[in-house]
């Protein structure tokens, strides 16, 4: 239910969203040739945790610099940062900041160096 609300909120901002309900599906996407502008991970996923997905993304040369946002209701912020997460948002309260956070990260990615 939360994932659908997040997807709806981001799509209402005009962003395309690829949704993976299972961690194993998300891992296949991260390891595929598909380019993503940002990765939004929930830590509590079946099969593969969001922390493991973040670690694997940072090991992948194509995703090494892709911004990663993690949503979690658990107390894993320090571990998420060690895994390479750029922004940690706590569920449910910080979900309201998600669209602004994604916009900020996407704008930072598109600025010339």
Query: Residue by residue, what is the 3-state secondary structure of 53-66?
Result: HHHHHHHCCCCCCC
- pTM given for the model: 0.89
Q: Which residues, 6 or more positions from 113, have their beta carbon under 8 angstroms from its beta carbon? A: none
Q: Return the structure tokens found at 45.
A: 């996923």
The pLDDT, as a whole number, for residue 110 is 59
113 residues of the chain, pLDDT tens digit each: 678 888 888 898 889 999 998 999 999 999 999 999 999 999 988 899 999 999 999 999 999 999 999 999 889 999 999 999 999 999 877 778 888 999 999 887 655 44
Give the whole-angstrom CA distance, residue 91 versus residue 104: 19
- The closest alpha carbon to 89, from 104, 101, 105, 106, belongs to 101
Report whether CATH 3.40.109.10 matches the domain 2-107.
no
């Amino acid at each position: 239910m939360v994932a659908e609300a997040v997807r709806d909120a981001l799509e209402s901002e005009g962003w395309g969203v690829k949704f993976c309900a299972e961690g194993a599906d998300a891992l296949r996407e991260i390891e595929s040739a598909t380019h993503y502008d940002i990765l939004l991970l929930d830590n509590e996923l079946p099969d593969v945790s969001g922390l493991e997905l973040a670690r694997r993304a940072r090991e992948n040369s194509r995703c090494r610099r892709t911004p990663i946002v993690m949503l979690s209701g658990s107390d894993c912020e320090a571990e998420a940062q060690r895994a390479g997460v750029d922004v940690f948002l706590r569920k449910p309260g910080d979900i309201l900041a998600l669209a602004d956070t994604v916009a900020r990260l996407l704008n930072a990615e598109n600025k010339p160096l």
